[in-house]
């Protein structure tokens, strides 16, 4: 992912405050929440039977679009296809997804299949081939069964609708080892018009920060220039999707796409003023919600494991420290075992690549069950193991890390490491 | 760990060849294999009962010494103690180890306990306090029970012997979740004299490249200057202990010490000639054997998982690529499941931070059960899943990665990811 100039930082608290103030209103649904967006899910039998495995997002109005993709050197064919389109100036109208076969490590043949998929969608929807983005996830190294894909595309085009149900169908169709569908939507008023941002995503393995380690699709009816949409997205992923890790494996297929069709009718956002800031916050609310959902539904996860780092010397330090903790296998196993093994957390901070004084660090476990100081001045605080166990038994656990160095903070999301993670991944292909 | 200038590279094949030629002869035992070294193990009850949990290495003749320590910002008290001593010019005579409590995150009190341990050992052995090195492993954040430690030191001093059995006792006493003790020794002729290098180490969790992520102690009777001993060690760990990973967690206590007492009587090695090169090879043979043993006995491991990268553009690239594969949770879970999921291997190469053309990569599974091409030109080769399953069912599995770019190669060692890794670490403290 490109490094972007640091934007003005918005604290997490500030965001929550704004939500409470009603500036950003949660809404139902996902990719069809914004005006003028259609979706569909279909059983195309790409790899599995009796489940939806292809999805469509469609906007009759051409959309400006932005994409962020895996930083893996090994990039799946659809990543190459989409990057070509989103880096150009053209508008897009559709996204076609399959969740059976990743179309990664498939060479020229795999890329040709992207083109054929786009052609099929273009024909079925009456749009241009280069207005079709493609995404896929699933087994690496297999070629797509193109007859089923093209038949699936037709089903999707015929079944498309702008209802919440259609959005739900699409959100289900992109799932692989996910146990629940993942959607989010918010509304915000920009230039006197209601603007909606909604999205869906899927995890739940091969999830590690470094662009976005999953598939995510966000639609919005905002009027905005392509330039600012790209900047808003690239800035926001640094604090949302890039702060998620399930297993440390950065996938070959990671794709995050944002489509904006302008249906809200607000004055086009073409400079970094108040409207832009407002849109960024709405986008952030959706992205953060989706990112948290990916972490909480990580393969085999029994708990969402959040690390909040405060008072770090710099934003980048705060991010590195937070990510190091949620990536630690030992810490994750301790969370699974409801074991307040804070030494492993301090150890994970210690190898994050950030200089600090271990003698200053303070650690707390927090959630709805309590707020417990477990380490002060780099040593054990006098806490009750019983209370710690109670907090760690909840489905969401936050460790608050106070570095006592500066003013920067960051949040990262992961999950515990369970027997089921091993079970799922020891035999994924069969 | 300090970055050292690249030494002349010795290929793995070359080393094995030399062994076959009898230049380097395997020997029995560990830290007492070299002349003039004593050892002992004792039940001190530091944390557990009915098991040896303290060890001693002792040489009546003062030793030049070299140490490499964890790169973790959070360093345990004994690491601070040893670094002070090994970075100075003084000679050492003893190492005292406890395997119950890590003495990490214990502040000034923890450091004072190192001094008290050294004082006790100095009194019991009749040597100077600053000739005593300390190492520990176990639970983080607890203070040492000093009465038991000092009583243990006396037991060790009384029980010391220069026999193989005494070395075995010490090797058992430093184990934590290890299932087997880990020792190695070799002999080599330098300047007409027989020189012995022997060592012991313990794993088996919190193991990740970046200095040595474990405790390891190597003794040798070679005559060598401190300068060259340090250089030999720091160069060698880059291809041995730093190429091991069990779980990605770099510990707070990692310590590798080498003591050379000169008892062999060879002409002192004081320049980088043939004698130095010969000693380096002997040291490498011991270090590599110990490193492989740590990987093969990783927590919950059912298989040693080796990755050999060949034809990489540079040595550093080769190391990064090899380490990325053995660190991938998804690949490790596939190895546990005997699943030839080569896409995950290619994916892990892809996020190693090394540029390459995925379309050129060739992958093979190799061990005594077979040699199978599974991926050519970045795509699936036409292989038999049955044969792959047979190879993957062995207790040692090698994946050979041919980058087809240059002449550099590297080897890394890890293990599979099993249910037992989770079980062991979900409830380590209780």
**Bridge partners of residue A311, in order along the sequence:** none
B321 in contact with A, Cβ within 8 Å: no
| Cβ burial, residue B355 (10 Å; 0-12/13-18/19+) | exposed
User: What is the tens place of the pLDDT at every residue in A319-338?
Assistant: 999 989 988 888 898 899 89
Do B347 and A142 make contact, defined as CB atoms within 8 angstroms? no
Does domain A27-296 bear CATH number 3.60.70.12? yes
B419 in contact with A, Cβ within 8 Å: yes
Domain with CATH 3.60.70.12 in chain A: 27-296
Q: How far apart are CA B83 and CA B254, in angstroms?
A: 12
8 A C-beta contact, residue B330 and residue A247: yes
8 A C-beta contact, residue A134 and residue A113: no
User: What is the tens place of the pLDDT at every residue in B303-348?
Assistant: 999 999 999 999 999 999 998 998 888 889 889 989 888 988 998 8
Give me chain A's average pLDDT, please: 88
| pLDDT tens track, chain A, 430 positions | 333 333 333 334 444 445 545 689 999 999 999 999 999 999 999 987 889 999 999 999 999 999 988 888 888 999 999 999 999 989 999 999 999 998 988 889 999 999 999 999 999 999 999 999 999 998 888 899 999 999 999 999 999 999 999 999 999 999 988 888 999 999 999 999 999 999 999 887 665 534 334 788 999 999 999 999 999 999 998 888 887 776 666 677 888 899 999 999 999 999 999 999 999 999 999 999 998 888 888 778 889 999 999 999 999 999 999 989 988 888 898 899 898 889 889 988 988 889 999 899 999 999 999 999 999 998 889 999 999 999 999 999 999 999 999 999 999 998 988 888 788 777 645 4
Q: Which residues contact B48 (CB under 8 A, 6 or more apart)?
A: B100
Alpha-carbon radius of gyration of chain B: 21
Q: How far apart are CA B80 and CA B98, in angstroms?
A: 16
Q: Which residues contact A7 (CB under 8 A, 6 or more apart)?
A: A235, A280
Q: Which residues of A touch B341 (CB under 8 A)?
A: 140, 428-429
Stated length of chain A: 430
Using alpha carbons, list the distances in angstroms from residue B275 to B113, B223, B269: 40, 10, 7
A328 in contact with B, Cβ within 8 Å: yes
Interface of A with B in 111-130 (CB under 8 A): none
Q: Which residues of B touch A419 (CB under 8 A)?
A: 419, 422-423
Tell me what ipTM this predicted complex has.
Answer: 0.76
Give me chain B's average pLDDT, please: 88
The catalytic position among B137, B150, B177, B213 is B213
CATH of B22-296 among 3.60.70.12, 3.40.50.720, 3.30.210.10, 3.30.1330.10:
3.60.70.12
Do B344 and A249 make contact, defined as CB atoms within 8 angstroms? yes
The secondary element (H helix, E strand) that includes residue B167 is helix B164-173
Q: Which residues of B touch A424 (CB under 8 A)?
A: 333
- b/e B323-350 (16+ beta carbons within 10 angstroms → b): bbbbbbbbbbbbbbbbbbbbbbbbbbbb
Task: Annotate A107-127 with three-state secondary structure.
Answer: HHHHHHHHHHHHHHHHHHHCC
The CATH code for residues A304-426 is: 3.10.20.340
Q: Write down the pLDDT at residue A251.
A: 75
Domain with CATH 3.60.70.12 in chain B: 22-296
Q: Write down the pLDDT at residue A253.
A: 81
Q: Which residues of A touch B73 (CB under 8 A)?
A: 349-352, 354-356, 358
Concatenated DSSP letters of A226-286: HHHHHHHHHHHHTTTGGGB-SSS---S--EEEEEE--TT-PPPB-SSSHHHHHHHHHHHHH
Alpha-carbon radius of gyration of chain A: 21
pTM of the model: 0.79
Q: Write down the pLDDT at residue B247.
A: 66
The mean per-residue pLDDT over the stretch B33-48 comes to: 94
Residues B328, B332, B338, B344, Cα dihedral to 10°: -10
A73 in contact with B, Cβ within 8 Å: yes
Domain with CATH 3.10.20.340 in chain A: 304-426
Stated length of chain B: 430
The number of beta carbons lying within 10 Å of the beta carbon of residue A359 is 13
A74 in contact with B, Cβ within 8 Å: yes
User: What is the tens place of the pLDDT at every residue in B266-282?
Assistant: 999 999 999 999 999 99
Q: Write down the pLDDT at residue B420.
A: 82
Distance from the Cα of B364 to chain A's closest Cα (Å) equals 15
Angle between helices A12-20 and A274-296 (to 10 degrees): 100
User: What is the tens place of the pLDDT at every residue in A138-194?
Assistant: 888 889 999 999 999 999 999 999 999 999 999 999 998 888 899 999 999 999 999
Distance from the Cα of A381 to chain B's closest Cα (Å) equals 10
Q: Write down the pLDDT at residue A71.
A: 80
User: What is the tens place of the pLDDT at every residue in A241-281?
Assistant: 887 776 666 677 888 899 999 999 999 999 999 999 999 99
Residue B218 pLDDT level (bands cut at 50, 70, 90): very high
């Amino acid at each position: 992912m490109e490094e972007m100039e640091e934007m003005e930082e918005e604290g997490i608290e500030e965001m929550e405050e704004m939500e409470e103030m009603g500036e950003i209103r949660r809404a139902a649904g996902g990719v069809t929440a914004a005006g003028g967006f259609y979706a569909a899910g279909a059983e195309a039998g790409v790899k599995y039977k009796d489940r939806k495995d292809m999805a469509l997002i469609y906007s009759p109005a051409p959309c400006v679009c932005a994409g962020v993709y895996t930083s893996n050197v090994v990039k799946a064919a659809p990543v190459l296809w989409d990057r070509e389109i989103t880096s150009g100036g053209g508008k897009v109208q559709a996204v076609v997804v399959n969740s059976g076969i990743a179309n990664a490590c498939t060479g020229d043949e795999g890329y040709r299949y992207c083109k054929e998929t786009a052609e099929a969608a273009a024909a079925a929807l009456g749009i241009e081939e280069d207005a079709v983005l493609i995404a896929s996830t699933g087994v690496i190294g297999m070629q797509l069964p193109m007859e089923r894909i093209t038949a699936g595309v037709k089903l999707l085009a015929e079944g498309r609708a702008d209802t919440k149900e259609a959005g739900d169908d699409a959100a289900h169709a992109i799932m692989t080892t996910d146990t629940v569908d993942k959607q989010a939507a918010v509304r915000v008023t920009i230039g006197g018009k209601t603007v909606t941002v909604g999205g869906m995503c899927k995890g739940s393995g091969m999830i590690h920060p470094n662009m976005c380690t999953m598939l995510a699709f966000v639609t919005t009816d905002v009027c905005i220039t392509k330039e600012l949409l790209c900047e808003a997205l690239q800035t926001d992923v640094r604090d949302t999707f890039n702060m998620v890790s399930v297993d440390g494996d950065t996938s070959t297929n990671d794709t995050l796409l944002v489509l904006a069709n302008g249906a809200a009718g607000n004055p086009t956002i073409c400079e970094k003023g108040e409207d832009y800031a407002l849109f960024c916050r709405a986008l952030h609310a959706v992205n953060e919600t989706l990112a948290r959902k990916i972490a909480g539904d990580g393969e085999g996860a029994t708990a969402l494991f959040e690390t909040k780092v405060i008072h770090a010397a710099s934003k980048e330090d705060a991010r590195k420290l937070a990510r190091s903790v949620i990536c630690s296998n030992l810490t994750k196993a301790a969370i699974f075992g409801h074991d307040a093994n804070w030494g492993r957390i301090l150890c994970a901070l210690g190898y994050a690549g950030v200089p600090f004084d271990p003698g200053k660090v303070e650690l707390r476990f927090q959630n709805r069950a309590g707020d417990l100081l477990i380490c002060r001045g780099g040593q054990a605080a006098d806490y009750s193991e019983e209370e710690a166990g109670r907090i760690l038994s909840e489905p969401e656990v936050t460790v608050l890390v106070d570095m006592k160095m500066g003013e920067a903070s960051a949040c990262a999301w992961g999950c515990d490491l369970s027997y089921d993670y091993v079970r799922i991944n020891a035999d994924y292909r069969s």
